[in-house]
Structures are given as C-alpha cells and as structure tokens.
Amino acid sequence: MNISTHYNITEGELKDKIILVTGANRGFGRAMTLDLAKAGATVIMLGRDLGSLETAYDEVVDLGYQEPVLYPFDLEGATPEHYEQLQANLLENFSKLDGLIHNAGIIGTMMPIEQYDIKLWYSTMQINVNGPFMLTQFLIPVLSKSDDARILFLSSSVGREARAYWGAYGVSKFAIEGLSKTLSEELEKTNIRVNSLDPKRMRTKMRQIAYPAENIENNPLPEALSPAIVYLMSERAKTLNGEQLTLEV
C-alpha cells in the first residue's frame, strides 16, 4: 500500500503521544524526530552516539517543538538486561508508550553470500533484527498501556524482493517483514497496530554507502518524506495493520 509523503502536519495533532524512535540522531530518524516533535509528540530519541543525539535534540528545542528525551543505547551491544532496564525506565517516567519506530539499521556490505564476512553478518542481524525483536518484546507491555499504539518497522525493497549481493541487509529486512506480519496477527485484537514501511531512496549516509557512484542530489532529503511518519502515527492511520507500506513522493 502506498503512503503519500505530502502530508500537512497540524500543530498538536500528536499532543500527549510518547513515541520512541531508534537511530534518532541522524538520517531519517532525525528527520522524523523533528516532525513528530513539531506535531506535539514527546520523542524518546534512542541512539548510540550521544554527541549527535544531543545536536539533534538541540535542533528540536531551538525550533520550539515538544522537548524530546535522549536515550543512549547501542543496539549491537545491548543485552536483554538493558532492554529490561529501558522498559522499567519508560514505565516509571511515562507510564505508557504510543509509538515504537524501528528506524536504526546498518547496510552491512555488498557481497555474494558465499563470501559474506561472518562477523559483519552477525552485526547486521543483531542491529537490524535481534535488536528490534528484543525492543519490541520488552516494550509491548508499555505499548499496551496506550489506548492506540503503533509499531512501525523500517524495511526496504530488498526485504520484499530478493536482490543479489545485498547479503545480510536484504535478509535482515525479509526477517523484519516476517516479524512485522507475525506480530500484526498476534496483536490483532489489542490496541497495538503493526506495519512495515519501505521509505524508498533517501539522501542519507546509508544510501551513499549502497550507491557510492550516484548523484546524491537525485534522492529526496529525508525531511521531504518524514511528514508521512506523522501521518502513520496519527489518528488518521488508525486502521492500518499488517500492511507492507511504501512511501510515495
């Protein structure tokens, strides 16, 4: 299902919403953080690099948007105990969670499966799949406390149709699609809606690594796409569940 990126954010439409974004320090995560905060949501900005998290936080505050919360967290090194601690922190400080956006990810490397670097395979699967799985498992009890909660998994076209040499990244996104669909069915009768989203191409570091020779100017800035994330977290998208969504510029 296509989702238009031409969405006009209404001030305060996400007021009182608490939304956690992974990889909120840069790229698409930073852009969606700005728009979610503009719409009035309190964004819990999760990321592993405190310096760039703080820079993005300052941008939100300087623009006069809803003040976010920083949560330094490394999805690669985190153990179940770290996720448990995050759950406890959220329950103590917010008592509910309305949105969980699994945005962080790494591209791994472009290589045939036959030669794929095993260590990099593990890292990619840890950050792109195992992290989102554990984060979801530990945060379902917090999402359950909202009367209208959303989980959004950032996916990719290579997670819906296999492409040679995309290695662990492509496989991780297939896993994310499976996780999203399975969860959407398991949570169907609850207040939590679950969808995956292929943003298509964006002018970010990840895209540059994947396509070093292309003219980056031809790719839309993540800021051009992020209003659609506000739409997906809003009342208007309440009925979407178990969908494979794709952004349409």
Q: Least distance (Å) from ligand NAP to the CB of residue 216? A: 10
Whether 169 is a known active-site residue: answer yes
Can you give the binding site for ligand NAP, defined by CB under 6 A? 22-23, 25-29, 47-49, 52, 74-76, 103-106, 127, 154, 156, 198-199, 201-202, 204-207
The tokens for 137 are 């498992």
Indicate the residue among 46 and 149 with the shorter CB distance to ligand NAP.
Answer: 46
Collect all residues with Cβ–Cβ distance below 8 Å to 189 and sequence separation of at least 6.
none
Which one-letter amino acid corresponds to residue 6? H
CA 2 centroid distance within chain: 18
Give me the catalytic one of 65, 83, 116, 169.
169
Indicate the residue among 27 and 40 with the shorter CB distance to ligand NAP.
Answer: 27
Indicate the residue among 38 and 203 with the shorter CB distance to ligand NAP.
Answer: 203
Cα–Cα nearest to 246, from 151, 132, 128, 157: 157
Task: Report the C-alpha gap between 37 and 61 in whole angstroms.
Answer: 9
Cα–Cα nearest to 103, from 166, 170, 27: 27
The tokens for 110 are 């472009």
Indicate the residue among 114 and 217 with the shorter CB distance to ligand NAP.
Answer: 217
Q: Least distance (Å) from ligand NAP to the CB of residue 226? A: 10
Residues carrying an active site annotation: 169
